[in-house]
Amino acid sequence: MEGGQEGGQEGWMDGRRAGRRAGRMDGRQEGRKAGRKRALRRCGREAAGMASVVLSEAEKLYIVHGVQEDLRVDGRGCEDYRCAEVETDVVSNTSGSARVKLGETDILVGIKAEMGTPKLEKPDEGYLEFFVDCSSNSPELEGRGGEELGTDIANTLYRVFSCENSVDLKSLCINPKEHCWVLYVDVLLLECGGNIFDAISIAVKAALFNTRIPKVRVLEDEEGTKEIELSDDPYDCIRLSVDEVPCIVTLSKIGYRHVVDATLQEEACSLASLLISVTSKGAITSMRKVGKGSLDPESIFEMMETGQRVGKSLHIALQKILDEEENLGTSRPKTEIPS
């Protein structure tokens, strides 16, 4: 059973160039439908903070019973991910970017490296800043609702990357105590189709892999004026090592079992989920329970084991795709805007 699952998962990650027409039109229509039933579903939206779907009791029962038998609505097993597409280097104005489509969920991450002053407590390290924008998802998430969800995701990302050795921050230092690189990671939630944390962490890892930071030297004259010297070769740059960057795995508890990569419908049936961030070596760097239900301690232990297993295979598949994208190099066809 183990071997079959591993084999199945290796084939699912695709680096195909997706059609540029994203599913934004469908997202808007869903938002309008949900808006009409706003009065009934407000409780669900308050609790989850995300765009929610309307499900009848019979549909919920169908999903719960199916999960008990290890059969989900789209035919997956409890530990299978949906078909995912990962592209890097999609926005040329950034230092690194990535776009991930996990089923219906669509995430775009852009990283800009800028020079700044290091923090007082860590004078010889650079740092990362996360910003998440959810307003393009549905009319419900414009304004305050989207901002709350955005800060929630940003705080989770800060906690996931709070482990010291996830990103080599010392390589981001230019002059200790004076100059360092600050990586501004901007996440755009284009469409929410369930399981946004996983997709965002995959996109952030892909964007960090793709980031190219120019090599800079800051020279100081006798008078004290600082001069910034950029190397002439545009391909001479610092690349970040993403071996220790963790990926988030969300395990949602439905009935007596837990599922990985829940769709919006499955999230509506689940009262509690556990977010675990796993590195490629199987170490867990952060844990958080979300949802308004409670969890049994035994199920938490089971979820951690599943999360570690699933996380490791996720990292293997993602690294394979990233290496393939890297080898495409400049021969990759870039879309041209017709003049």
Partner 1 sequence: MPLDHRRLRGPEESQPPTLWAAAAAEDEEDEEGAGAAARDPCALRPLFARAGLLSQAQGSAYVELGSGTKVLCAAWGPREAAEPGPGRLICEFRRAPFAGRGARGRPGAAAEREAEREAAAALREALEPAVRLGRYPRARLAVSALLLQDGGSALAAAVSAAALALADAGVEMYDLAVGCALCRPPAPAASWMLQPAEPEERRAAARLTLALLPALNQVSAVLGGGRGGPPEDWAQALRLGLDGCHRQYPVLRQSLLRAAQRRRSTPPS
Q: Which is nearer to partner 1, 82 or 309 (CB)?
A: 309
Least distance in angstroms from the C-beta of 191 to partner 1: 24
Candidates 68, 102, 82; CA nearest to 9 is 82
Q: Which is nearer to partner 1, 159 or 239 (CB)?
A: 159
55 binds partner 1 (CB under 8 A): no
144 binds partner 1 (CB under 8 A): no
152 binds partner 1 (CB under 8 A): yes
Q: Residue from 26, 46, 74, 324 that binds partner 1 (CB under 8 A)? A: 46
Question: CA dist 224 to 116, 219, 220, 253, Å?
Answer: 18, 9, 6, 61
In DSSP notation, 25-63 reads: HHHHHHHHHHHHTHHHHHHHHHHH-S------HHHHHHH
Q: Residue from 189, 251, 290, 314 that binds partner 1 (CB under 8 A)? A: 290
313 binds partner 1 (CB under 8 A): no
164 binds partner 1 (CB under 8 A): yes
User: Which parts of 95-134 interact with partner 1 (CB under 8 A)?
Assistant: 120
| Residue pointed to by tokens 């949900």 | 34
Residue 185 · residue 158 · CB < 8 Å: no
Region class of 110: left (phi > 0), else alpha (psi between -120 and 50), else beta: beta
Least distance in angstroms from the C-beta of 226 to partner 1: 22
Q: Residue from 2, 227, 232, 305 that binds partner 1 (CB under 8 A)? A: 305
The span of 55-63, 101-109, 110-118, 296-304 binding partner 1 (CB under 8 A) equals: 296-304
Least distance in angstroms from the C-beta of 185 to partner 1: 16
Residue 315 · residue 9 · CB < 8 Å: no
Residue 60 · residue 269 · CB < 8 Å: yes
Candidates 151, 150, 182, 192; CA nearest to 51 is 192
3-class SS of residue 115: strand
Candidates 228, 226, 231; CA nearest to 215 is 231
The span of 55-63, 157-165, 205-213, 234-242 binding partner 1 (CB under 8 A) equals: 157-165
Q: How far is CA 74 from the centre of its chain?
A: 22
Least distance in angstroms from the C-beta of 301 to partner 1: 5
Least distance in angstroms from the C-beta of 246 to partner 1: 10
187 binds partner 1 (CB under 8 A): no
In DSSP notation, 169-214 reads: GGGGEEETTTEEEEEEEEEEEEE--S-HHHHHHHHHHHHHHH-EEE
Region class of 331: left (phi > 0), else alpha (psi between -120 and 50), else beta: alpha
3-class SS of residue 127: strand
User: Which parts of 236-275 interact with partner 1 (CB under 8 A)?
Assistant: 272, 274
Least distance in angstroms from the C-beta of 245 to partner 1: 14
The span of 22-30, 135-143, 277-285, 326-334 binding partner 1 (CB under 8 A) equals: 277-285
Interacting residues with partner 1 (CB under 8 A): 39, 42-43, 46, 120, 151-152, 155, 159-160, 162-165, 272, 274, 282-297, 300-301, 304-305, 307-308
